[in-house]
Structure 1
Amino acid sequence: MADSHGFRESEWYAKQVSSRPHLHAGYTLLADGGFALETWLLKPYPEEQLTTPKKRMYNFSVCSPRAVVENAFGVLKGRWRLLHSGVSCETELAPYVVDACVRLHDFLEDQGDEWNEAIDPYHDGAHAAAGDKEDGDA
């Protein structure tokens, strides 16, 4: 299921589009181009509509914070194996699992942990930590 479809099917989305929105007044969400535009959800202009400097600046302003957040999730996926292929737990528990991973990461960073992205989430053998021997390795 695509992210945008899952989002539209979520309880949170239903609350947001109801007469009593869940998102605080004055706040918006940032999304990628796959999501439907809502008054409370900002998404970038499609490439073919970037005809003015104002639209290009808007896209930069919307995409830059999203990139920072996506990079942060990439770091977390690199450190915690359980985030590689989605969190396997009840939907209600997923935010707590992610929060625990963030807090553990921050704690270890504060302790001077010399972790150097031992797991590459983009590598085919993503489930093998650095230094682990894979089958057939000498």
Structure 2
Amino acid sequence: MCDAKYRFTYVDIGTPGRFSDGGTFGQSSLNAAMESGQLNIPSPTNLPGTSQPLPFVMVGDEAVPLKPWLMRPFPGRVVDSHGKKIYNYRLSRARRTIENAFGIMTSRWRCLRDNTLVMSPDNAKRVILATCVLHNVMRKQNINPYSPPGFADSIAPGGEIVEGIWRRETPVHNSRQTNRSYSQDAADIRNHFKSYFTGLGAVEWQDAHVRSTQ
């Protein structure tokens, strides 16, 4: 998990590769802490211009479960309305932040470019954790040679995504595993966000973008 400045705020390292992404997340300390209310998450607040309070949420892909505090896309088989397409588009844009965090780090630390680290599992965990920490230090100090302007994705005036330089060097794997288990509360929250993104929270370029990808 990362913040808006591509700095990691939570990492979980060492789960065997045979485990699904959803299973890995379900066993993480982050999931346990969120489920038990141990983290100091702000109380729900009204979306701008509305009287509808909604919780602060994390953003994930198809591999994670839908929860009141974790939003994921509508699966392809039920994306049967313009509103759902807009929601998925906006969620996808938000998820680019974590893609860029991984992309910047793997582009700058060459030991992460290979599929296999030739070392013991314990040492591999230490190396990956060290690169996450060093990445955060470099991002916090805003050292241009590490991630100069244009290295990460940016947004053009018309809303188009300008892909960052790191993408030419280090493609990031996107999981396609799905998790379909969710509560009615989680579904209601996702629908509220969907309605907001097509109403007061709309951005001027989203309709054209969704139409162009159909």
Q: TM-score range by the shorter chain?
A: 0.5 to 0.7
Give the alignment's Cα RMSD to 1 decimal. 3.3
CA distance in structure 2 between the aligned counterparts of 1:46 and 1:60, rounded to whole angstroms: 12
Separation (CA, whole Å) in 2 of partners of 1:2 and 1:69? 19
Identity %: 21
Q: Confirm or deny that 1:54 pairs with 2:83.
A: yes
Q: Is the contact made by 2:59 and 2:71 (CA closer than 8 Å) also made in structure 1?
A: yes
Contact 1:77 1:83 in 2 (8 A): yes
Question: For residue 9 of structure 1, what is the aligned residue in structure 2?
Answer: 27
1:12-23 matches, within 5 Å, as 12-18=30-36, 20-22=37-39
Q: Which has the higher contact order (CA 8 A, sep 6+)?
A: 2
State the distance in 1 between where 2:40 and 2:29 align.
Answer: 13
Question: In the alignment, which residue of structure 2 is the partner of 1:66?
Answer: 95
User: In structure 1, what is the Cα distance between the partners aligned to 2:31 and 2:74?
Assistant: 22
Partners of 1:11 and 1:111 in 2: CA distance: 30
Q: TM-score, normalised by structure 2?
A: 0.45
Distance 1:53 1:46, change over 3 A: same
Deviation (angstroms), 1:46:
0.8
Please tell me whether the aligned partners of residues 16 and 22 of structure 1 are also in contact (alpha carbons under 8 angstroms): yes
Structure with the larger helix share? 1
Amino acid paired to 2:106 = K
* Per-residue CA distance 1:82-122 (angstroms, 9 max, x = gap): 3335882359x82x63131243364243797xx976x9345
Q: 1:30·1:66 contact (CA, 8 Å) conserved in 2? A: yes
What pairs with 1:122-133 in structure 2 (closer than 5 Å)? 122=171
Unaligned runs of 5+ in 2: 1-18, 43-54, 118-122, 152-164, 172-214
Structure 2 partner of 1:120: 169
CA distance in 2, matches of 1:77, 1:6: 21
Deviation, structure 1 residue 57: 0.8
- Matching residue within 123, 143, 162 for 1:107: 143
Determine the C-alpha separation between the residues in 2 that align with 1:23 and 1:73: 25
How many pairs are equivalent?
116
**SS of equivalent residue, structure 1 residue 38:** coil
Runs of 5+ in structure 1 lacking a partner? 123-138
77-86 vs 34-43, greater mean Cα deviation: 77-86
Q: Identify which of 31, 41, 56 aligns with 1:24.
A: 41
Report the TM-score, using the length of structure 1 for normalisation.
0.66
